[in-house]
Structure 1
Amino acid sequence: MKRKPTAMLLLFPAFIHCSMAYSQLKNFPQNSSPQEVGKRVVARFLASPHPNFGRPTPPSVITYPEVCTWYGALAFAKESRNKTLTAKLAERFEPLFGADTGLVPEPDHVDHTVFGAVPLELYQQLKDPRYLEMGKRIADKQWGSPDGPHVKPTSFVYYKQGLTWQTRMWIDDMFMITAVQAQAYRATGNSSYIDRAAKEMVVYLDSLQQPNGLFYHAPDVPFFWGRGNGWMAAGMSELLRSLPEDNPDRPRIMEGYKKMMASLLQYQAEDGMWRQLIDDPASWAETSGTGMFTFAMITGVKKGWLDAATYGPAARKAWLALVTYIDSNGDVREVCEGTNKKNDRQYYLDRKRITGDMHGQAPLLWCAAALLR
C-alpha cells in the first residue's frame, strides 16, 4: 500500500526555502554586521552636539532628525541587549528634565510632536515614570484641541473628523505621527493610541498613494521624492509591527504597504540603492531614503508580511550598499538635505548631498535594530 507523504514532509521543502531566504538577513561580512555598524553610528551620535539642520548655532529645540536618530539608537541598544548604551543615551536625555528643559519641543506640529517617541522608549527600557509622563503628555496633545502657532483653518476640519489637528497631508507626517502614537501604545497598552494612528494612516493612503504604489511628496507636488517615500515606508512598518491583528484598518494598511514594497523592488538599482527621485534614472543614489526602504523590507521579511525569497536578497543588497557610505568617523554620506516641497523636478535634483546629517544616521540605526529584532 502506497503511503501518503506526511504533513511534515510536505512542509519540509518550504521550510528549507524559507530558512535560506531568512539567512539573507544574517551572516554579514566583517564590518557590515548590524552589531558593528550600530555601535559605530551610536558612538557618533553620542559624541555629537544637538544638531540644527546644518547651521553652526545650537537649535532652539531638539530637532526631529535628532529624535529619529535617538530613537534608532535606543532601539539598537535594546535589540543588542546593551544596557550600558541605554544608560549613555539616557544620560544625554537627563538635562532635558533640568537645565535644558527649554530644548523640549512643544507638541504643536508633527515635527515637534515626534519627540515623544524618545521618552516613551526610555520608559519602556528603564521604567522611570518621568519618561512616561512626558511622552504621554506629548502624544495626547497631538489629538487634543488645536492650539499653538501652527493652527490653521484646516486644523479644525481635521480635528472634527477625529484626525489629529496636526494633519497637513505631507507624506513625512506618516512617520512623525505614527511613531509617537505607536510608542504611546507600546508604553501603556492603551489601544486608543495606535487605533487613531491607524485611522490617520488610512486617510493618507487613500489620499496620496498613486497607482504605482509610490507617493507624491504632497498632492500638488507630483514627484516621488526618496526620503519622503521613506518616511511613509518606515511609518507603515512601525505601525504594522504593533497594530493588533483585529484592528479593522490593518488590512487596508497592509495592502498599501505591500503595494509600495512591490513598486520599490522594481526601482532598486543594481548596486542596491534607491535614488533621490525614485523613478528618475538621472537622479543620484541617496542614503536616507534607501535606509528607510531597507528598514521597511527587513521588517516585512522578519514579520512574514513579505516573501522572504524575493525581498530578503533585496534587503541584504541594500544594507551592504548602505554600509559602504559610512565614513571613518561613523558619518553617512550622500544624505539629501532637509527638503521642503516644491513642484519642480530640478529642485529635488539640486538638493545638497550632506555627510553626517542625522536624516541619514537615523535609518541606519533602524535597520541595525530590525536586523537584530
Structure 2
Amino acid sequence: MNPLYISQKLFEHYEHIEEVKHYYGLLAIYALLLTAEEKQDPVLLGKCKTVLSRFPDHIQHPRYNFPSYRIGGIPKAYSLMKDYLPEAEEQVRYYAEEMLTASRDRKGIMSYPYAPEKELIWIDVAMAVTPYLLFAGLALGDEKYIDEAAKQTFLMYEEFLDQENGLLHQSKNWAGPGKYSEDHWGRGNGWGYLPLAELVQHLPQHSRHRTKAEKYFKDLSASLLPYQSERGLWRQEIPFEYAYEETSGSGLILYGMGVGMRTGLLDREKYFPAFKKGIEALNQICINADFSTERSCPGCLCPGDGEEKGTVKAYVTLMLPHRDEHHSFAPLMFALVEAYRNGIYDLPRDSH
C-alpha cells in the first residue's frame, strides 16, 4: 500500500474519532499538507485549506499554552509560506509578534505562561515555536522571526542535552527548582528533533544559523540511531531496554532521519537500513487494519508525584500507551511522507 495513502487514511480515521485541533491536531494537519504535496493532489490540498479555514472562529478552543494554536498554528504559517492561504498573512504576523513577547526564563527559553516566576521549561516548546516562527519568517520576509525560531531550539537543545549519551531530557523546574527530569523520553527527543529537521530543510542556505542547525541535527541523529529496538522502534525511555516501544517518538525520529538522508546531511548507507526497518515496524506494529493506532504514549509532562516526579520510573510505569492516542497520528503521517520521499512506495498491509 502506498505510504501516502496510509497517511491520508490515518488522518481520516483521526478526524472521525475527534475534532482535529490543539497542537497534536495541528501537526496532523501539517502532515496532511505534506501528504497532499507529495501526492500532487489538489483535492486533498483543498481539504487542508478547508480544515484550516475553521480556525479560529469555528473551533471550540481549550486553554492553550501558545495562542498561535487558535489560528491553526504551524500548518497555517506553512500554508502562508507556500502561498496556499495568502489571506492568512495578518493572522500569522499577529501571532508571530505575540510569540516574541511570550514568557521566558533567565536564559531566554520560552517558559510556561501561567507561572512565569517558576521558569518552567520543557522541550515540547521547541516543536510549538520553531516551525511556526520559521515559516512565518520565510513567508513574511522577516529575519527576526527566523532568528527567534533558531534561538529557541538551540537554547533548548543545549539546556536539555545529556552529555553522556547525546539524548535530551524533557524538562527543568517542573520536579522542583533547578531540577531536570531524569528521562530521555522518546517523544520528548522527537520534539527536539522535529524543529531541527525543519531548520535544516527550510533555512536559507546562506543563513547564519545553518551551521549550528546542521551540527545539532547530525549529533542528535547519531545519538538516536543506536537505540533502535530489534523490531525497529524507539522506546518510551529511549536507553532503557525494558521500556515499551513507543509510536509517536519513533515516528518523529524516523521523520527526522528521512529529512536528513534526503537533504544529504545523513549518510544513506548508514541510516537507510534503520529507516526502512522503522517504517516497516510502524506499518506493522503501530497501525491497525482500520487505520487506528497503537502504542502511543499519552500526554506526558514530568509525570509522577513527590520524589518520583520526573523519574524514569514515572515515565515508564505511569504513562502507558493506548489505542488511538491523539499524539500518534501526526508522527506516523510525517514518517510515512518521508518514507515516500526516500523511495519506499509500497508497504504491505494485513488484517491485524
TM superposition score category, shorter chain reference: 0.7 to 0.9
Name the residue aligned to 2:322.
354
Matches within 5 A, 1:151-300: 155=104, 157=106, 164=110, 168-211=120-163, 212-219=165-172, 220-300=180-260
On the 8 A contact 1:110/1:177 being kept in 2, the answer is: no
Shift of 1:192: 2.5
For residues 218 and 67 of structure 2, what CA distance do their matches in structure 1 show? 25
Q: Which amino acid aligns with 1:132?
A: E
On the 8 A contact 1:114/1:177 being kept in 2, the answer is: no
For residues 203 and 129 of structure 1, what CA distance do their matches in structure 2 show? 32
SS in 2 for 1:103: coil
In the superposition, relative to structure 1, how do residues 113 and 47 fare at CA in structure 2: closer, same or farther (>3 Å)? Answer: closer
On the 8 A contact 1:105/1:115 being kept in 2, the answer is: no
Shift of 1:76: 1.1
Are positions 1:69 and 2:16 aligned together? no
Deviations 1:332-358 (A, max 9, x none): 200001111132222111212121123
For residues 81 and 35 of structure 1, what CA distance do their matches in structure 2 show? 11
Q: 1:131 aligns with which of 88, 92, 97?
A: 88
Q: Choose 66-75 or 301-310, whichever is displaced more.
A: 66-75
Are positions 1:344 and 2:344 aligned together? no
For residues 192 and 292 of structure 2, what CA distance do their matches in structure 1 show? 24
Name the residue aligned to 1:26.
none
Q: 1:93 aligns with which of 52, 71, 85?
A: 52
For residues 327 and 271 of structure 1, what CA distance do their matches in structure 2 show? 17
Q: 2:277 aligns with which of 307, 317, 324?
A: 317
Are positions 1:47 and 2:16 aligned together? yes
Q: 1:81 aligns with which of 31, 36, 40?
A: 40
Are positions 1:333 and 2:286 aligned together? no
Identity %, equivalent residues: 25
On the 8 A contact 1:298/1:371 being kept in 2, the answer is: yes
Are positions 1:366 and 2:324 aligned together? no
Show structure 2 runs of 5+ residues with no match. 114-118, 173-179, 303-308, 342-352
On the 8 A contact 1:78/1:86 being kept in 2, the answer is: yes
For residues 340 and 156 of structure 1, what CA distance do their matches in structure 2 show? 18
Q: Which amino acid aligns with 2:323?
A: T
Name the residue aligned to 2:347.
none
For residues 71 and 232 of structure 2, what CA distance do their matches in structure 1 show? 30
Q: 1:116 aligns with which of 65, 73, 88?
A: 73
RMSD, aligned CA: 2.5
For residues 127 and 35 of structure 1, what CA distance do their matches in structure 2 show? 20
Shift of 1:125: 5.0
Q: Choose 118-127 or 64-73, whichever is displaced more.
A: 118-127
On the 8 A contact 1:181/1:193 being kept in 2, the answer is: yes
For residues 312 and 56 of structure 2, what CA distance do their matches in structure 1 show? 44
For residues 66 and 138 of structure 2, what CA distance do their matches in structure 1 show? 22
Shift of 1:372: 4.0
TM-score normalised by length of structure 2: 0.82
For residues 259 and 52 of structure 2, what CA distance do their matches in structure 1 show? 28
For residues 154 and 257 of structure 2, what CA distance do their matches in structure 1 show? 20
How many aligned positions are there? Answer: 319
Higher Rg: 1
For residues 252 and 218 of structure 2, what CA distance do their matches in structure 1 show? 15
Shift of 1:110: 7.7
For residues 170 and 247 of structure 2, what CA distance do their matches in structure 1 show? 18
